[in-house]
Amino acid sequence: MRVYVDADACPVAIREILFRAAERRGVRVTLVANQPMRRSGSPNVDLVQVSHGFDVADKEIAKRADAGDLVITSDIPLAAEIIEKGAHALSPRGELYSPETIRARLNMRDFMDTLRASGIHTRGPPALNRSDRQDFANHLDRLLRRHAGR
């Protein structure tokens, strides 16, 4: 299992959890971003820097991810594409997207986009908190244990 990270939108605290997992479990973590960023000194962590542009990083992740891989993203359409390929998708808040839940998440995302386009101001997500970080770490650990060696 390889881990791909939609790194431009991934909180630093979550990247740090991923860096520790890469060291502890020996899993390959690839940060995909359209800007330079700090990565750990681990040989298990690499950075793929893509050009600037709408969804360029998402397209690169979708191209690289294979069935059984894990993608860390808040982007619902990317998560849906990854799940369709047979890979796993986990949000930085610890929400494990699944074939059973992704359609509802896509519908809600589209609904919120429609509201914003009509001039209704919606609030963004709350700040990442300790519980979110713990949920993420727990799901990540379970996935890595379950798919170790694949």
Quote the domain boundaries for residue 74. Answer: 2-146
18-64 confidence digits (pLDDT tens):
999 999 999 999 999 999 888 788 899 999 999 998 889 999 999 99
**What is the number of domains present in the chain?**
1
pTM of structure: 0.86
Look at strands 96-97 and 28-33 and give their pairing.
unpaired
- The CATH number given to whatever domain includes residue 75 is 3.40.50
Give the separation between CA 3 and CA 70, rounded to whole angstroms: 5
Q: What is the pLDDT of residue 112?
A: 65
Average pLDDT over residues 87-109: 85
53-96 confidence digits (pLDDT tens):
888 999 999 999 999 999 999 999 999 999 999 999 999 999 99
73-82 confidence digits (pLDDT tens):
999 999 999 9
Task: Categorize the per-residue pLDDT at 111 as very low, low, confident or very high, splitting at 50, 70 and 90.
Answer: low
